[in-house]
Amino acid sequence: MNRVFKFSFMSVVYSFLYLPMIVLIVYSFNNSTYSLGWKGVTLSWYNELFSDFSLWEVALNSLTVAGISATFATALGSMSAVAFYRYSFRGKDFLYGLIYILIMAPEIVMGISFLILFVSLNIPLGFFTLLLAHITFCLPFVVVTVYSRMTGFDRNIIEAAKDLGASEFECFRLVILPLLMPGVVAGWLLSFTLSMDDVIISFFVTGPEFEILPLKIYSLVRMGVKPEINALCTILFGFTLAVVMIAQMLLKEKK
């Protein structure tokens, strides 16, 4: 294949991936409510967005859920990754299997199974159920990120630390944790974006009195295209962009 073909093919695919987002961002600054034509730059849609108090509350809800579930999932996931890597124990393959199911299961299936679980346990749908569900679907991403970081370094390193006199705890604090840190932070960031962006699972497990951003956007979008939504989506996109960039930098630092 010659270079021209290669270049144009890749450009077309990248345009397909990015053009809609670029259009969205550009139009969020367009000084016109309905028309497609360009009527000059304005920040009024952002202004309107920021003055909408109810939207602030929804955003805060989302940030709270994302922050707590990412933190919890990162703690539990990192611990499990270390345990999976270092120890052999009964039922390990079974737990692996459950994590695989968690990664592969279609979100809609997870959504309804959480719903059935919470209803049969009589837990009212809302903040708490949302949190439990988000922690669960973030978990495998942390496990995989941290685990792959662990496999990246020499297995003998842990033995070397013990050989030089480190206890189990010192070994974890002085050697394992510092080496895992970039993976742990990346895992947290990715969990955070996953939680912030999730629609399908949240759709089933949250109650009417606890609204979060993606579901709010979903209900707004069903009403049609509005410049305020352009602005909101732009902000959310910019946010994800920043978080993913940081996570990628951390993961690349490895070599």
Partner 1 sequence: MNRDGLFKRVSVNAIALWLVLFVLAPSVLVLASSLLTRGDAQLVRAPLTFENYRRIVDPLYLDIFLSSFYLAALSTLICLMVGYPFAYLLARTSPRYRRNLLLMVVIPFWTSSLVRTYAMIIILKTKGLLNSLLLWAGVIHEPLTILYTDAAVFVGLVYSLLPFMVLPIYASVEKLDSRLMEAARDLGASRAATFVRVVIPLTMPGIIAGSMLVFLPALGMFYIPDLLGGAKTLLIGNLIKNQFLSARDWPFGSAASVVLTLVMAVMLLVYYKSVRATRRQEPA
Partner 2 sequence: MLLPMSDTIIELRSVSKSFGSLMALKNVELRVERGKFVTLLGPSGCGKTTLLRLLAGFDTPTSGEIFINGRSMASLPPEKRPVNTVFQSYALFPHMTVFDNVAFGPKLKGLGRKEMERQALEALEMVNLVDLAGRRPNQLSGGQQQRVAIARAVVNKPLVLLLDEPLNALDYKLRKAMQIELKQLQRKLGITFIFVTHDQEEALSMSNQVVVMNHGCIEQVGEPREIYESPRNLFVARFVGEINVLDAEVLSSNGGGVLEVALEGRKMKLHKTSNGHKANGWKAFGPGDRVHVLVRPEDLRVYRREDIEPEDASDFFPATVEEAIYKGATVDLIVSLASGGRLSASQFFNEDDDQLEFYRGEQVFLDWVQGWEVVLPHES
Binds partner 1 (CB under 8 A): choice among 63, 68, 117, 185? 117
Pick out residues in 184-223 that bind partner 1 (CB under 8 A): 190, 193-194, 196-197, 199-200, 203-204, 214, 217-218, 221-222
Pick out residues in 34-53 that bind partner 1 (CB under 8 A): 36
Pick out residues in 64-93 that bind partner 1 (CB under 8 A): 76, 79-80, 82-83, 86-87, 89, 91
Residues 99/140, Cβ–Cβ less than 8 Å: yes
184 interface partner picked from partner 2, partner 1, none, CB below 5 to 8 A per type: none
Cβ-based nearer residue to partner 2, 93 or 163:
163
Q: Helical H runs in the chain?
A: 3-27, 44-51, 53-86, 92-104, 107-120, 127-152, 156-163, 168-171, 177-197, 200-205, 213-221, 227-252
Binds partner 1 (CB under 8 A): choice among 8, 9, 15, 33? 9
Number of residues that bind partner 1 (CB under 8 A): 81
3-state secondary structure of 167: coil
3-state secondary structure of 40: coil
Cβ-based nearer residue to partner 2, 163 or 209:
163
105 interface partner picked from partner 1, partner 2, none, CB below 5 to 8 A per type: partner 1
CA distances from 135 to 1, 44, 84, 241 (A): 46, 37, 19, 22
Distance between CA 219 and CA 244 in Å, rounded? 26
